Chain A
Amino acid sequence: MSLVETLMPYSVEGFLAPDELDRVVQLMDAYKASVKATRLQAGATGFSIHKSTNKSVEEVVAAFEPAGRLEVNWGDIPREAIDIVETAFFRRIEDIRRAYPSAYGPYGFTYVEYGPDQYFTAHVDGVSTTQVAGFGVTLTSDFEGGEFCVETCGSGRLWADGPGGKPMVAPGADSQSAWYRALPRTTWTTTCERGKAIFYGSGLTHSSKPVRSGVLRKLLAFISSDRG
């Protein structure tokens, strides 16, 4: 894995076909109907895909999704929904590896919904030994707002010396850190379109704008890799 890969934004248009999108939505609706609504709120299962040093799950959710969001983590997502996205990933494997040459495959699937005024704050997922990027597939189109943003930043303040002399994202690269909030950054914004997958390297700051109306539904995953 090279650092350049982890800073790469990318997109795969038509990642899921209409019938696949319908099926994933149908499967997630069936799952949602089978559990208590309170279990579906971010952090309700005692888990969040986001992490922040020395913070509880509740604090992490408050920091990353201040207005809340619906979240279903990989252990609870119907296997068929994961298979549909995995299949789509591997039939575009060469397209994806053009941007992320060290990519293995998707893992850590998470289903999310953002209702009116809900969004997620700017953060960097972090470059680990096993993760090169993340991506989100928009499942529906009956919403307004929720634009996806990546932020670029040329400052060395975002980077620290990591293992083996390789750069790593500085600790606390999220909206909870005063140093991070003060860091001048440049924001690039795109709309979320049904069926399109938006990819973001794990060293790339990303965020979203609030949904204005309707519900934005997405399936997210990380991409496994090696440190190289």
Chain B
Amino acid sequence: MDDDAAIAALAIRYFNGEDPNALDAVLSRRATVHASIGDELELVQLEEEGLPRLATVLRELRVAFPDVRFALGAVRVDADDVKLEWTARGTHRGPLLHVAATERPVELAGRARLQLAGGKVTDLWWDFDLYGALLQLGAIGAEPGVGEPRAVAVAKAAAAEVRAAILARHTAVDVLGPTVAFHGRVRVYLSQSFDDKTFAFVGAGRAGELFACLVELFDEVGELSLDDGISQGATTTFRGKLRARRRRDFYSYRFRMSLRAGASQVTEAWIEVTPPATVMEVIQ
């Protein structure tokens, strides 16, 4: 192994925390370390906080991925310029920037560049593909039509609960309780009075008022069909038809419910009960 490759191997030992002093002998006392876990380029002097700064960055990475292991990839040597690629695998068990632990396995791709003079490292650059990491953690905006599995499961369970509550004429649903940001609108067309009315409910905990509105308007909700839902990220939208009786008349309405959920509960919901496109479809 030549000196440059040996330095690359030492760097990996250092990244892995196997030898905190691995780079001491090869780093110039005036070396500059450029390393950051965020987007901002950090320029710090070794004499002040150079290598300790890199140690801090690596420590932050180990908080996010306690079992992280670095492996050396391609090494390119051009005179006194050593460029190395590395990969690191770990499980996301602590915060990375603002992203809380997801328990997801992640593979990080990174690079380091060591500039040498007289056999000593004078500059060390270190970075990794943060975008790729956030993508694996589900912290980048979702693709069209792709839901976050746990959020979709929570939304589907909540939708079933809401449907059952409306059919049973309940006016409270636990899954849309006081902590859920709620927006809702009921727009009805009532044949007896040829009346077009809109009721709006906006604010956390107001879901019950929408359900109470339906109870007051209709003597019976005979049918509430819901599709399987369309998702993007944490939001799932269910569409269906609500068929209800008021006195001796039956009415048909469009029902739309979107639920934004975290890993365990709904955080935001918006429900619309509106007439179909044509009046003929309302009364049938």
- List residues of chain B with CB within 8 A of the CB of A109: 277
- List residues of chain A with CB within 8 A of the CB of B232: 90-95
- Known A91-B230, A226-B202; contact A104-B141, beta-carbon cutoff 8 A: no
Contact B277 A75 (CB under 8 A): yes
Distance, CA A87 to CA B183, complexed state (A): 21
Residue of A nearest to B232 (CB): A94
- List residues of chain B with CB within 8 A of the CB of A92: 144, 232
Contact B202 A228 (CB under 8 A): yes
The 8 A CB mask of B109-141 against A (1 = contact, 0 = none) is 000000000000000000000000000000001
Distance, CA A87 to CA B239, complexed state (A): 10
Interface residues on A, range: 20 to 34
- List residues of chain B with CB within 8 A of the CB of A104: 183, 185, 256, 258, 270, 272
Q: What's the least CB distance linking B141 to chain A, in Å?
A: 7
Question: Which of A74, A77, A95, A129 is in CB contact (< 8 Å) with B200?
Answer: A129
Question: Which of A91, A94, A224 is in CB contact (< 8 Å) with B141?
Answer: A94
- List residues of chain A with CB within 8 A of the CB of B278: 75
B-contacting residues, A110-159, CB 8 Å: 129-130
Interface residues on B, range: 20 to 34
Contact B198 A74 (CB under 8 A): no
Q: What's the least CB distance linking B251 to chain A, in Å?
A: 17
A227 on the interface (CB 8 Å rule)? Answer: yes
A-contacting residues, B262-279, CB 8 Å: 270, 272, 274, 277-278
- List residues of chain A with CB within 8 A of the CB of B233: 94
B-contacting residues, A11-39, CB 8 Å: 14
Question: Which of B145, B200, B239, B256 is in CB contact (< 8 Å) with A91?
Answer: B145
Distance, CA A62 to CA B200, complexed state (A): 35
- List residues of chain A with CB within 8 A of the CB of B235: 93-94, 97
- Centre residue among A87, A90, A107 by max chain B CB count within 10 A: A90
Contact B185 A226 (CB under 8 A): yes
Contact A224 B185 (CB under 8 A): yes
B234 on the interface (CB 8 Å rule)? Answer: yes
The 8 A CB mask of B195-232 against A (1 = contact, 0 = none) is 00010101000000000000000000000000000111
B142 on the interface (CB 8 Å rule)? Answer: yes
Contact B198 A130 (CB under 8 A): yes
B237 on the interface (CB 8 Å rule)? Answer: yes
Q: What's the least CB distance linking B275 to chain A, in Å?
A: 10
- List residues of chain A with CB within 8 A of the CB of B258: 90, 93, 104-105
- List residues of chain A with CB within 8 A of the CB of B230: 87, 90-91, 93
A-contacting residues, B164-198, CB 8 Å: 183, 185, 198
Distance, CA A82 to CA B202, complexed state (A): 27
Q: What's the least CB distance linking A71 to chain B, in Å?
A: 15
Contact A226 B141 (CB under 8 A): no
Distance, CA A102 to CA B232, complexed state (A): 16
Contact B237 A93 (CB under 8 A): yes
Q: What's the least CB distance linking A63 to chain B, in Å?
A: 26
Q: What's the least CB distance linking B197 to chain A, in Å?
A: 13
Distance, CA A14 to CA B234, complexed state (A): 21
B-contacting residues, A71-96, CB 8 Å: 74-75, 77, 79, 82, 86-87, 90-95
Q: What's the least CB distance linking B188 to chain A, in Å?
A: 14
Question: Which of B142, B202, B277 is in CB contact (< 8 Å) with A74?
Answer: B277
Contact A90 B237 (CB under 8 A): yes
Contact B185 A130 (CB under 8 A): yes
* Beyond A93-B237, A226-B183, A228-B183, 18 extra complex contacts between A and B, CB < 8 Å: A74-B277, A86-B239, A87-B230, A90-B232, A90-B237, A90-B258, A91-B232, A93-B230, A94-B233, A94-B235, A97-B235, A98-B141, A104-B183, A104-B270, A105-B272, A107-B274, A130-B185, A224-B272
Q: List residues of chain B with CB under 8 Å of any chain A CB.
A: 141-142, 144-145, 183, 185, 198, 200, 202, 230-235, 237, 239, 256, 258, 270, 272, 274, 277-278
Some 9 contacts from A to B, beta carbons below 8 A apart, are A14-B144, A90-B232, A91-B231, A92-B232, A102-B183, A105-B256, A227-B200, A227-B202, A228-B183
Q: List residues of chain A with CB under 8 Å of any chain B CB.
A: 14, 74-75, 77, 79, 82, 86-87, 90-95, 97-98, 102, 104-105, 107, 109, 129-130, 224, 226-228
Going nearest first, the 5 A-B pairs with the smallest beta carbon separation are A91-B145, A90-B230, A90-B237, A94-B233, A94-B232
